[in-house]
Structure 1
Amino acid sequence: MAPHSTATSEDLAATAMEHKIAQQPSLSSNGHGNGHVQSGEDNLPALDASKLIYTFADTSVRSVPSEAEATSGNETICTDHMITAVWKAGAGWSAPELKPYGPLTLMPTASVLHYATECFEGLKVYRGHDGKLRLFRPDLNARRMLMSTLRISLPGFDPAELEKLIHALLAVDGPKWLPASRPGSFLYVRPAMIGTQPQLGVQAPKEALLFITASFMPRFDSPPGGMKLHTNPEDMIRAWVGGFGYAKVGANYGPSLLATNEARKRGFGQILWLYGEEKYCTEAGASNFFVVWRTKDGRRQLVTAPLDDKLILDGVTRRSVVELARERLGEELEVVERKYTIDEVIEADKEGRLIEAFAAGTAFFICPVSQIRHRDYDVNFPMVKGDSGQYTSMIKGWMYDIMYGNEQHPWGVVIDEKKQ
């Protein structure tokens, strides 16, 4: 039975999304796919990881750089292989291929180059202190990528098949690029999908390319003295209700760079994006934002923006922070997801009720925030544990232990590595 529609006849985008979601078994109420998710054509091939074709690179050609070397230049250093899969409206999904990392070929009229028909995900693979290779909750990333593809009219797929393809790439490249001799290290995994139909005209693409790469990424989670945020200018916002801030599409990020670069020239690391006349706190750069404060009646709260208006991204790190804090800090810290304003933060600062703040995301992990500059007012957060707050440090430690195998937890998904 189709889910009850909450959209009116005028809500074209919402209605279209409901129809697309209803066609995806993997987004049904039980959350389990049946391996036959199609892209509007029931008799066409679905994305199928069991059909993966392997073409191996000569792995002796490239050596693995140190983390410092790999992140010091202007080019992202990727591993030996990548995975690609082609989709066409009249043919469905082709067999995916694992092949040597290299350039993609696109026509100048490809949809992605003109109409921003692209989306992506970001997750990390970790070399644990127990020697094992792990992903952190990859099922959430795979399901969120499906939501993003549907939002911009790219083809659907079973998220479980995407997750299997990620495993396949890391099983091959993990042993070399994250060797057991480097415990505590990670690679960044980037699944992406782009519209490739070589035809100008604003329309849903009839051709698309899925590709997955793994690369080095700098560590952003421990800036000296904590991250400093500057609120966005009055004439600029990053996302809006009724938009696509909840989907991980490139159009969310490019337009924000102008203000971000200006903030960095002034000594700030990221923008704290405010929304509406009320100036609700939403995200810190592309990361979710958390504040710990005492309420006026003395209760300690961990507060972050809600997801119900689809203004911000449902971050995997955000979700994990909320769940861990409720499970492990519930007796001393109330976890609240609600709209709150920068004026509330300033009021708490003036009344001495602020405890700490942090940003949470895949790239920035758990990053302590030390300051917010809003117009001509500076909010300064206590850093009681060196360059971090007490709860920030505690939550970050729990997350680290799960990711790197110090704590055996269902969120840490072990990769079955292949030795070439």
Structure 2
Amino acid sequence: MSPEPTQLNGASAPKQPLDASKLTLTQSTVLHPVPEPGSPELWAQNVHTDHMVTCRWTAEKGWDAPEIKPFADFSISPLASCIHYATQCFEGMKAYRGFDNRVRLFRPDRNAKRLVMSAKRVSLPEFDDAELVELIKALVRTDEKRWLAEPGSFRYVRPALIGTGRQLGVQIPKEAVLFIVMVCWPDFSTESPPGVAPRSDLRLLTSRNDTIRAWPGGFGYAKVGANYGPSFASHCEAQESGYDQILWLFGDNGQVTEAGASNFFAVVKDKSTSKLQLLTAPLDDKLILDGVTRQSVLELARSRLANELEVKETKFTITDIKTAWDDGRLTEAFVSGTAVSTEILIPKDVF
């Protein structure tokens, strides 16, 4: 990405792009304890690795040189734009140590491109997604020895961009901070929180008619904080009723969109041909997040199961799913996302 000119003291000066080659490293002298698998500390989801990446942006100069430095809290103005106007976006991915002892990221380029898109949606500065990927790799390399020590282990990587400009007026932020942290994360597919009985399936409660997660023309397709906070009340309601998450419906006909913060899939038999169909909500109306795991599931199904399974990104309703269940045509339902990977549902508990 080429530097853009700006006026500085009457002279034209380039705005600096995000540049991973300028990255500096300050080693932490305080090494935090690494939690044991299945421990309460792991399930708290607030245990971070020793370092973080930060990079400041201003409208006048562009991006500063990024830094890897010891993990620390931010000092932020009470007038910061992100606090008042939700000028904030983020991503989530995992870094894995394989059983061949190599460390890998799962499709970080797709997360980086999505963060650029989300930043644009909330008027935050753009950047070259490839530079973000390099910064993520650098952080993982810095902390992998202690925090990804065992084959089969993984850590959750969270890049985020927040508007930090000190102005209370309703306007585009003139300052922002990009940061990347790594956090210990439980394996939801094999573990349960301490004191909680293990379960093999996910139970969903359909959303009420007066509750909507996303709408046409909105921002349900962007990974911004404003999509998440308002959904917590429904999530708590579902849990208090004995369910795990909300199945978000849209419109008078109950169009199926997402399950909690995950993409939703159903496998049904076609009425006419009895061929199996993999159904998931489409992207064109921008009601759902274009999940990286979702993309991967669809690509794998199309490339490896084309003879047995017809993949359909299409609108379908909760009535369609219930009818398929009543007819014995609903064979499977599951959700996908970075946090859960994929998780099977109990179909009868969707209704």
Alignment TM-score, normalising by the size of structure 1: 0.78
How do 1:187-336 and structure 2 match up within 5 A? Answer: 187-221=155-189, 224-297=199-272, 298-336=274-312
User: Does structure 1 retain, via aligned residues, the 8 Å contact 2:203–2:245?
Assistant: yes
1:354 aligned residue? 330
Please say which of residues 194-203 and 36-45 is displaced more in the overlay: 36-45
Change in 2 beyond 3 A, CA 1:75/1:350: closer
In 2: Cα distance, 1:292 partner to 1:323 partner: 16
Is residue 83 of structure 1 aligned with residue 58 of structure 2? Answer: no
User: Does structure 2 retain, via aligned residues, the 8 Å contact 1:187–1:215?
Assistant: yes
Is residue 172 of structure 1 aligned with residue 163 of structure 2? Answer: no
What's the offset of the Cα at 1:199? Answer: 1.1
1:52 aligned residue? 23
User: Does structure 1 retain, via aligned residues, the 8 Å contact 2:16–2:64?
Assistant: yes
User: Does structure 2 retain, via aligned residues, the 8 Å contact 1:71–1:217?
Assistant: no
What's the offset of the Cα at 1:309? Answer: 1.0
What's the offset of the Cα at 1:37? Answer: 6.6
In 2: Cα distance, 1:325 partner to 1:206 partner: 44
In 2: Cα distance, 1:270 partner to 1:71 partner: 23
Question: CA offsets per residue over residues 270-308 of structure 1, 9 Å max, x none?
Answer: 100001112110000010000001010111100100001
1:381 aligned residue? none
What's the offset of the Cα at 1:364? Answer: 1.1
Change in 2 beyond 3 A, CA 1:257/1:39: farther
Unaligned runs of 5+ in 1: 1-34, 379-420
In 2: Cα distance, 1:320 partner to 1:134 partner: 16
In 2: Cα distance, 1:165 partner to 1:175 partner: 17
Question: CA offsets per residue over residues 236-257 of structure 1, 9 Å max, x none?
Answer: 0111111001100000000001
The alignment partner of 2:14 has SS state of coil
Change in 2 beyond 3 A, CA 1:362/1:373: same
Give RMSD over aligned pairs.
Answer: 1.7
What's the offset of the Cα at 1:36? Answer: 2.6
1:116 aligned residue? 86
Instruction: Count residues in correspondence.
Output: 338
The alignment partner of 1:198 has SS state of coil
In 2: Cα distance, 1:269 partner to 1:39 partner: 51
Change in 2 beyond 3 A, CA 1:308/1:356: same
Change in 2 beyond 3 A, CA 1:40/1:79: farther
Counterpart code for 1:311: L
Counterpart code for 2:206: T
1:95 aligned residue? 65
Question: CA offsets per residue over residues 289-330 of structure 1, 9 Å max, x none?
Answer: 000010101111001000011111000000000000000000
Change in 2 beyond 3 A, CA 1:40/1:314: farther
User: Does structure 1 retain, via aligned residues, the 8 Å contact 2:49–2:143?
Assistant: yes
Is residue 344 of structure 1 aligned with residue 320 of structure 2? Answer: yes
Alignment TM-score, normalising by the size of structure 2: 0.93
In 2: Cα distance, 1:200 partner to 1:117 partner: 12
Counterpart code for 1:335: V
In 1: Cα distance, 2:40 partner to 2:128 partner: 33
Counterpart code for 1:226: D
What's the offset of the Cα at 1:221? Answer: 3.1
Is residue 152 of structure 1 aligned with residue 128 of structure 2? Answer: no
2:75 aligned residue? 105
In 1: Cα distance, 2:238 partner to 2:57 partner: 40
Counterpart code for 2:172: A
What's the offset of the Cα at 1:67? Answer: 2.7
Please say which of residues 327-336 and 61-70 is displaced more in the overlay: 61-70
What's the offset of the Cα at 1:361? Answer: 0.4
In 2: Cα distance, 1:39 partner to 1:135 partner: 35
The alignment partner of 1:227 has SS state of coil
User: Does structure 1 retain, via aligned residues, the 8 Å contact 2:35–2:42?
Assistant: no
Is residue 186 of structure 1 aligned with residue 157 of structure 2? Answer: no
What's the offset of the Cα at 1:224? Answer: 1.4
Change in 2 beyond 3 A, CA 1:200/1:74: same
In 2: Cα distance, 1:82 partner to 1:101 partner: 5
What's the offset of the Cα at 1:74? Answer: 4.0
In 2: Cα distance, 1:74 partner to 1:174 partner: 21
In 1: Cα distance, 2:203 partner to 2:14 partner: 53
Change in 2 beyond 3 A, CA 1:372/1:310: farther
Of the three residues 36, 61, 67, the one matched with 2:2 is 36
What's the offset of the Cα at 1:68? Answer: 2.1
Counterpart code for 1:336: K
